[in-house]
Amino acid sequence: MKTEKIEAAYALAKERYAELGVDTDSAIQKLKAIPISLHCWQGDDVGGFESFGGELTGGIAVTGNYPGKARTPDELRSDAAKALSLIPGTHRFNLHASYLEAGGKTVDRDEIRPEHFEGWIQWAQSLGIGLDFNPTCFSHAKSADGFTLSHHDAGIRQFWIEHCKLSREIGAVMGERLGTPAVTNIWIPDGMKDTPIDYKAPRLRLQSALDEIFEKPLNPKHNLDAIEGKLFGLGSESYVVGSHEFYLGYAVKHDKLVCLDAGHYHPTETIVDKISAVMCHVDEILLHVSRGVRWDSDHVIILNDDLRAIAQELVRGDFLGRTHIGLDFFDASINRIAAWVIGVRAMIKALLLALLEPTETLRERELSGDYTYRLATLEDLKTLPFGAVWDEYCLQMNVPVASAWLGDVRQYESAVLSLRA
Ligand code: RNT
Ligand code: ZN
């Protein structure tokens, strides 16, 4: 599309929004300051680069066999940089511990050190982005029976405790080196396929394991700890040790971040309503923005009502400054770089839509009981020329406008991805 046309459309859109008291320029300015953390694991189907890397376990699954997935850290960095170049704004990258670089050596999870992430830190420096981190408590022989931090075997439990402690330290090094705190998020798969006799004991073990992991205080300027609950997984349909209530209680008591994954609740429940509730009791949250579809909690996010509602709540509740937005999906049935770009661009669009709402007016009308105005305006907002503002944003941020990004991905696919056997 021609620049003049984009600008002309934007000028008209600006007027339309101004009629409602919405300043599109200021929405664009605010949007520029919101980082989104791209999850490394969309790039290689949650594979990682361990020498002993095997099957993906832990009750999560990636389906599809689209060719061209990243096989090395260099390939993943190149793919992620390509995705980032097609996404407006400055964002972050979220690594799992299993994405270490150990120079061909076998480094087990209880042996990881900051130097194994030096390549990632330098890459992040070169792009001027921050990193986030996660211990990897799945896809490992010591998690094969479905338990890690809550394992009844003290030796196995200790192995995972050590892994999580080391992960926090690595997060802190990343945060210090990059000048922006890493959010280190703990998620474990522990649970049971069928109803347990003992709900309690694994939770007590998890509780004391967390106490040990978090024993050492770390500078919050370098590392922030988050804990992520879940309702069920594949093979843990009846019981998950680290449930939402478990972690919410823990986080409130110990001043941790709660990670809300959009795919981790009952199908009729959304995280939208949880944000303000949780924010009454914790300082900050981490989001894993995802899209649940039937039994799967990790489809590529799209600009649907659920996503829009998440963004609206962050804006309406003024929660952006206390929320770390991370994404969590994995799809191997489409081009993996496109999956990143589609998901992140959808998240940014949702935020922009939310920023283009006359929130204060709507709040006042709601308070005065004018629910008719509220409903009517929310409906009318849906047909305002949002696309023109989005295009203008992409233009200003120097990334392809509208669907032009897909041409870039296709080019990269034939020049780079298709050569990967
Ligand atoms: C699993 C959790 C977790 C993982 C990643 C790979 O249900 O959502 O966040 O998806 O750590
Ligand atoms: Zn998640």
- Nearest protein CA to atom 11 of ligand 1, as residue: 187
Ligand 2 (ion): which residues have CB within 5 A?
Answer: 261, 288, 328
Q: Is the pLDDT of residue 53 over 90?
A: no
Which ligand 1 atom sits nearest the alpha carbon of residue 263? 8
**Ligand 1, from 99, 228, 247: best to mutate by most atoms within 8 Å of Cβ?**
228
> What percent of the chain stands above pLDDT 90?
98
- For 299-339, the pLDDT digits (tens) are 999 999 999 999 999 999 999 999 999 999 999 999 999 99
Average pLDDT over residues 379-401: 98
Average pLDDT over residues 363-382: 98
Residue 357 beta carbon below 6 angstroms from any ligand 1 atom = no
Mind listing the domains of the chain with CATH numbers? 3-419 (3.20.20.150)
Which ligand 1 atom sits nearest the alpha carbon of residue 259? 9
Q: Is the pLDDT of residue 265 over 90?
A: yes
pLDDT class of 420 with cuts at 50, 70, 90: very high
pLDDT of residue 181: 98
Q: What is the 3-state secondary structure (H, E, C) of the chain?
A: CCHHHHHHHHHHHHHHHHHCCCCHHHHHHHHHCCCEEEEHHHCCCCCCCCCCCCCCCCCCCCCCCCCCCCCCHHHHHHHHHHHHHCCCCCCEEEEEHHHCCCCCCCCCHHHCCHHHHHHHHHHHHHHCCEEEEECCCCCCHHHCCCCCCCCCCHHHHHHHHHHHHHHHHHHHHHHHHHCCCEEEEECCCCEECCCCCCCHHHHHHHHHHHHHHCCCCCCCCCEEEEEECCCCECCECCEECCCHHHHHHHHHHHCCEEEEECCCCCCCCCCHHHHHHHHCCCCCEEEEECEEECCEEEECCCCCHHHHHHHHHHHHCCCHHHEEEEECCCCCCCCHHHHHHHHHHHHHHHHHHHHCCCHHHHHHHHHCCCHHHHHHHHHHHCCCCHHHHHHHHHHHCCCCCCCHHHHHHHHHHHHCHHHCC
Residue 39 beta carbon below 6 angstroms from any ligand 1 atom = no
Question: Cα-Cα-Cα-Cα dihedral of 89, 417, 301, 230, to 10°?
Answer: -110
**Is the pTM above the cut of 0.85?**
yes
Residue 187 beta carbon below 6 angstroms from any ligand 1 atom = yes
pLDDT of residue 73: 98
State the ligand closest to the CA atom of 137.
Answer: 1
44 is catalytic: no
pLDDT of residue 210: 99
pLDDT class of 1 with cuts at 50, 70, 90: confident
